[in-house]
A and B are shown apart, each in its own frame.
Chain A
């Protein structure tokens, strides 16, 4: 979201720079330009007229329900983007205790073999996210053959990972396991 916000701000600033340069050119009458021609010169003639009428209608309270919805949605979107921009970024490393961290890759390398030890699991996909509080958020995707009991695989993987993480002390605050049926021809391992 931070990147999206940055793109929006870059486009806005580029527009402002363009508008500013054009305004300076027109204010100082460099060449045969008049300030009142600026909207037409920028190609905003129709938009300017439309916007003028629209703002006039809003001022006089003459707007329909659709406009209210659109304006509210824009305001809400702006508010959401603003809050997301204010939120501090997610840390890169998983915090264990004060002053001690473990990289997400190390947690991944710890969890992945554990998941693949399960006989029904043909392939694993482990995603680790660091959180602002101690502990990692771990999402495990386990590929199993069609027809296998996904629930039992999920619970077995969950308990195995939790037990091993407790032994090694790697803090996992949120562990989610999902077993997906996959075609064995497309997984890392076909037979176990």
Chain B
């Protein structure tokens, strides 16, 4: 269980560190999270064979969304402990240009 939490935290950090990722998604009908004693990591679901990362992409994205999702997948896969990695783009968030 602790291992799952560590893995979820690592995947979440890897996803958030990717340019173009606005935040982690929370799931729509079911909360996307990994649960541990007294703690949960929202946005990453660690299963026995698969790790699923839910992301919200900044809009406009810095690169095409499939390429961005693939980059997140590659980064997070390095920390997935050999489990299959899936990335779900859950939503787009319009980011205001700070120069305006």
Contact = CB atoms under 8 A, between A and B. Distances in A.
Interface residues of A, number: 17
Contacts of B57: 106
Nearest to A169: B64
Given A100-B70, A100-B86, A168 B91 contact: no
Interface residues of B, number: 21
B86 A99 contact: yes
Contacts of A103: 28, 88-91
B25 to A, nearest CB: 8
B1 interface: no
A169 B70 CA distance: 12
B56 to A, nearest CB: 9
Interface string A95-137: 0110111110110011000000000000000000000000000
B69 to A, nearest CB: 4
Interface in A139-192: 167-171
Given A102-B88, A103-B89, A110-B92, A97 B66 contact: yes
Interface of A: 93, 96-97, 99-103, 105-106, 109-110, 167-171
